[in-house]
Amino acid sequence: MNKGEGRLPRASGVLLHPTSLPGPHGSGDFGPAAYHFVDWLVTAGQRLWQILPLGGIGPGNSPYMSSSAFAGNVLLIDLAELQQQGWLDESDLAPVDGFMDHHLNFAAVVPFRMGCLARAAARFAEASDAANNEAFAVFCEQNANWLEDYALFMSLADAHAWQDWCSWGEPLARRKPAALRNARKKHAERIVFWKFCQWCFFRQWRNLKHYANQRGVEIVGDAPIFIAYQSAEVWARQDLFELDATGRPTVVAGVPPDLFSATGQHWGNPLYRWKAHADENYAWWVERIRRTFELVDIVRIDHFRGFAAYWEILASETTAINGRWMPGPGKSLFDAITDALGPVKVIAEDLGIITADVEALRRDCAFPGMRIYQFAFGSGNDNIYLSHNHDHDAVVYTGTHDNDTTLGWWSQANDGERHHVLEYLASDGGEIHWDLIRAACASVADTAIHPLQDVLGLGSEARMNFPGKAQGYWEWRFSWSQVHDWHAKRLSALCNLFQR
């Protein structure tokens, strides 16, 4: 990629994962509230909607530990649309105990939604019309290169109570052809169920994305660098990951001690066998990015520094303290992607321990990096996150999904940080969230993204994630009663003022 190709148009957007949307079924989804949110973005002068990964959730309900690099999160399927299709009854959608307007109670939502999807799949199989049958068959054919392994993997994982796939017995774990044939016969009905769910997910999401694009709103998606060990792709392509002869990881991913954690972050994802990827000219990665761009308009690549060098931890370690930096694939991976797909709109998540080689790789690829205001203050005027040090090829945030909300951060800021913020922004601190949003809009950075929590002025109770903490996050939701006309008017005025 040549320098300059990665420039994004000057624009502003809002960060909100669909699970945080309002809705009657315990969790946000692709239903009417999502379309209403697009309309709200337009009214607010926003041209970008940034979301978190759309894949299925994993341990701790994290969307960054998906059971597939290609499949969608079936919990996002709009159940009301399935009722409109005749595959669910009104009684199926009656709320259950545990649903909350401002909190996603996964313990209640997951069994409810999965039960509804099971009933919908059964009724589809019994009495679907010819047009839907044809559309389903076409989807299965067009996505067979990942869908076949995914549907079989999910069916086997269900049958084995979600024990790690390496414990399914050697014939299945090592994918012996006879064992796979027998499994496809034995679990045929469940395999169709998982394919049906993916068809519903992709059909509904493409309709929503089309609605957004038609109104001038682009989707900023997210591609985690790593995938979960308990995933279809690790099981299907064991040669591409650092596994031993039994299929267990020998080394895993994480990051060393940093601002978020004194013991680092022990993610536990299997690491890539990069030589094997290079030997096939990164075909797996090319297909992954190609599929991601079918779902979104711009891709934020998570943990970009891991492509320059990544932190390798022995699988036996329980923290990330003891590890070592290992060389990543570097620019050869991104050259293969652009050779296959042409210029791509990518945001590099260049946070954490950023060394000269990481910055050189980002600039060589012409990917805009990220600038976070919550990291800007109290450490001197040469801090790269301060406005006067921003570049055009950057995306500026008040904070990300990994940060506290701005009000939560402000409440915990030390005296040095507070003094610097008030002096730098000429602020009295009374509306610190709007002060940072205004600074982001005024920045020379081409792109400014504002978490909805900051637009609404919410505190730490609305925090989406806390890196290194495995439980209790990814649960925040808002309600329309929290959103007032002046929120959109104020955002729109800032975008007009600063030509976003």
DSSP letter at 13 equals: E
Closest CA to 52 of 345, 241, 295: 295
Helical H runs in 322-414? 331-341, 356-365, 406-412
Q: Is residue 80 within 8 Å of 93, Cβ to Cβ?
A: yes
The closest alpha carbon to 399, from 452, 357, 326, belongs to 452
243 bridge partner residues: 249
The first and second tokens of residue 347, run together, are 């945001």
* Spatial distance between the Cα atoms of 388 and 405, rounded to a whole number of angstroms: 23
Q: Is 89 a catalytic residue?
A: no
302 is catalytic: yes
Rounded distance, CA 346 to CA 400, Å?
17
| Nearest of 292, 275, 189 to residue 239 by alpha carbon | 275
φ/ψ bin of 50: left (φ > 0), alpha (ψ from -120 to 50), beta (otherwise): beta
Which residues, in sequence order, are bridge partners of residue 324? 312
Query: Strand 251-255 vs strand 265-270: parallel, antiparallel, or unpaired?
Result: antiparallel
- Structure-token pair, residue 51: 């979301």
**Tokens at 210, concatenated:** 């089309």
Report the alpha-carbon distance of residue 203 to residue 117 in Å, rounded: 15
Per DSSP, 316 falls in state T
- The strand ranges marked E within 411-458 are 447-451
The pair of structure tokens assigned to 19 is: 């699970």
Q: Which of 81, 302, 404, 435 is catalytic?
A: 302
Whether the CB-CB separation of 496 and 46 falls below 8 Å is answered with no
Single-letter amino acid, residue 291: R
Catalytic residue among 349, 350, 404, 446: 349
Q: Which of 342, 142, 146, 304 is nearest to 223 (CA)?
A: 304
Q: Give the residue from 335, 313, 331 showing the smallest Cα distance to 322.
A: 313
The residue from 5, 92, 402, 417 that is catalytic is: 402
243: helix, coil or strand?
A: strand
- Verify whether residue 349 is a known catalytic residue: yes
Alpha carbons 212 and 176: distance in angstroms, whole number? 45
d(CA 111, CA 114): 5
> What are the residue numbers of the active site?
302, 349, 402
